[in-house]
Chains A and B, each alone.
Chain A
Amino acid sequence: MSGQSQRLNVVPTVTMLGVMKARLVGATRGHALLKKKSDALTVQFRQILKKIVSTKESMGDIMKNSSFALTEAKYVAGENIKHIVQENVQSAALKVRSHQENVAGVKLPKFEYFIDGETKNDLTGLARGGQQVQACRTAYVKAIELLVELATLQTSFLTLDEAIKTTNRRVNALENVVKPRLENTITYIKGELDELEREDFFRLKKIQGYKRREVEKQREAAKAYAEEKFVEEISLRRGISVSSAHDMLSQAAQKDEDIIF
């Protein structure tokens, strides 16, 4: 990423400044809210993690028990009991349903199992082993319960993980990219505006200076003219035109064609 704190390319006007300020406020509020969401999700995440660990431990025991129940059933009812039961199956009696739950704004899936239809296997192993077969069935039903719960927990775990990552990414983006950029843009706009103002001010001052000098020059010119006028008048009273005298002198300075030397 080149230039962590770049700024947006905008025209540095006052309206733009207003727009940028509004955006900064929005970004700040969004950042705070997302941070709260991220914290809430993390709390949920930790809880689910704890539950997963305990469920997995108990699953180990339950699976062990159910496999052993199957062994007992096989012992008493004959090795073929597995095939007999399997061949007698039409469709599953234990099914799983899923629905969505909303947790802190994230949609988590939740699985639950339900019994659909009667199992007609009540008489399996009638002549021998029936009890063991039923015991095996209850053990496996318990195992299925636990497995369904574990499935719910694990999918929620993964979904929450994704959600937390996304939210954190957004928080970090706001914090480290968007806000600095906006702030820099605002600073830049402010700087530009200040400079424009300074330029204006300077221009104004300069023009004022010119004007003042003009006025002064005018005044001096006027004063000089007034003095000359006064002198002229006095000299005229004496009978000499100063100006013409001046003129003669000045003319004399010039070469007169009539004068040979």
Chain B
Amino acid sequence: MYGFEALTFNIHGGYLEAIVRGYRSGLLTAADYNNLCQCETLDDIKMHLSATEYGSYLQNEPSPLHTTTIVEKCTLKLVDEYKHMLAQATEPLSTFLEYITYGHMIDNVVLIVTGTLHERDVQELLEKCHPLGMFDSIATLAVAQNMRELYRLVLVDTPLAPYFSECITSEDLDDMNIEIMRNTLYKAYLEDFYRFCKTLGGATAEIMSDLLAFEADRRAVNITINSIGTELTRDDRRKLYSNFGLLYPYGHEELAVCEDIDQVRAAMEKYPPYQSIFSKLSYGESQMLDKAFYEEEVKRLCLAFEQQFHYGVFFAYMRLREQEIRNLMWISECVAQNQKSRVHDSVVFIF
């Protein structure tokens, strides 16, 4: 029931909401980003970061610092914070927190499966997985010889099982292109997450629906644009669109028949929130589209913190952290490759 969370939320969720708001205030500000953009070398970046909350993680790194190390350590910090929150959570918050990481889990599963198909070493593959998406039986994925066994033996016990069974039969698993499989799984995940949030009700449902709808729409647009000119058929494309969101169902119909960027733009301009995004791009240019989407996402995520007593803050925090890590990666790469002039192209300021 919307409006009465204030009475009961703090019993179970109050501690963690406070923790997450504390974490949020540790996110880098525009001033920090400005300082980082002025850096000449990676050591300067390390020095600036040691003044922020990342200090303890980067202190012990030896001096020829590499950009991938910086990103690794920041991700490590995020994982630590996540695990801390997960350990303190009760139902249904713990399920909610786990839902947030299913996306990464899907990526990891797909990575290991492709690697196994091409006969790579399991240990190496495990090292390349995203730490947020690890689960216990992940190493056993490499044991299976084909997709049917894979499903039967391993995936059935993971939380991803329902996504596999809903949309893919075991025959399809063999032939399907990896990317299509990944995107089908992700679509199932988003729909499941959406349903779950709706069952939670209240402010959570409202805020999360909005955020997830944006995610679904953004994916639809990206899939459309990226599949122009490839062998993906229109029906396949339509199958990859989620069944909720602002664009459902009419926008999806229009997007499914688009053959180039200008048609996509024409289809999107009927929806006011997306029209403002597309107006930032000039005709025929689509490179900045991703950055525009990230900016819009960050804006909505920040708005989630304006309300209290809902779980959306956790989701927003994780996403904002990921964006911050992306920013840091971009800045370090620009500094390391001596392309300081391009630094401001893609940094999205959070505050």
Contacts and interface: CB of A to CB of B under 8 A. Distances in A.
B71 interface: yes
Contacts of B75: 79
Interface residues of A, number: 30
A87 interface: yes
Interface in A14-68: 64, 67-68
A127 B186 contact: yes
A139 to B, nearest CB: 13
Nearest to A67: B337
Interface in A115-152: 120, 122-132, 135
Interface stretch (A69-77, A98-106, A163-171, A196-204): A69-77
B178 interface: yes
B130 interface: yes
B110 to A, nearest CB: 8
A131 B125 CA distance: 26
A83 interface: yes
B296 interface: no
B346 A87 contact: no
Interface stretch (B43-51, B218-226, B244-252): B218-226
Contact of B111 (A64, A83, A135): A83
A87 B178 CA distance: 11
B290 A127 contact: no
Given A80-B128, A131-B286, A126 B346 contact: no
A87 B120 contact: yes
Contacts of A64: 337-339
B125 A123 contact: no
B333 interface: yes
A261 to B, nearest CB: 143
Contacts of B326: 75
A89 B219 CA distance: 25
A121 B330 CA distance: 24
Contact of A79 (B179, B231, B232, B329): B329
Contacts, number: 95
A123 B330 contact: no
A68 B230 CA distance: 25
B125 A87 contact: yes
A123 B114 contact: no
Contact of A128 (B115, B222, B346): B222
A92 B171 CA distance: 28
B183 A127 contact: yes
B280 interface: no
A130 B128 CA distance: 20
Contact of B177 (A72, A90, A123, A131): A123
Interface string B103-116: 00001001100110
Interface residues of B, number: 44
A126 B339 contact: no
A124 B115 CA distance: 15
Interface in A216-250: none
A84 interface: yes
B340 to A, nearest CB: 12
A166 B1 CA distance: 93
A84 B290 CA distance: 20
A123 B222 CA distance: 11
B182 to A, nearest CB: 8
Contacts of A2: none
Given A76-B290, A87-B125, A126 B71 contact: no
Contact of B71 (A76, A79, A125, A135): A79
Contacts of B342: 68
A78 to B, nearest CB: 8
B118 A123 contact: no
Contact of B179 (A76, A83, A124): A124
A131 B293 CA distance: 14
Contacts of B219: 127-128
B346 A75 contact: yes
Given A75-B329, A127-B183, 14 more contacts: A64-B339, A68-B333, A71-B334, A72-B346, A80-B111, A80-B128, A88-B114, A122-B230, A123-B180, A127-B182, A128-B290, A130-B222, A131-B225, A131-B226
19 contacts: A64-B337, A67-B337, A74-B333, A75-B330, A84-B114, A87-B120, A88-B118, A122-B231, A125-B179, A126-B223, A127-B182, A127-B183, A127-B186, A128-B218, A130-B225, A131-B226, A131-B286, A131-B287, A132-B287
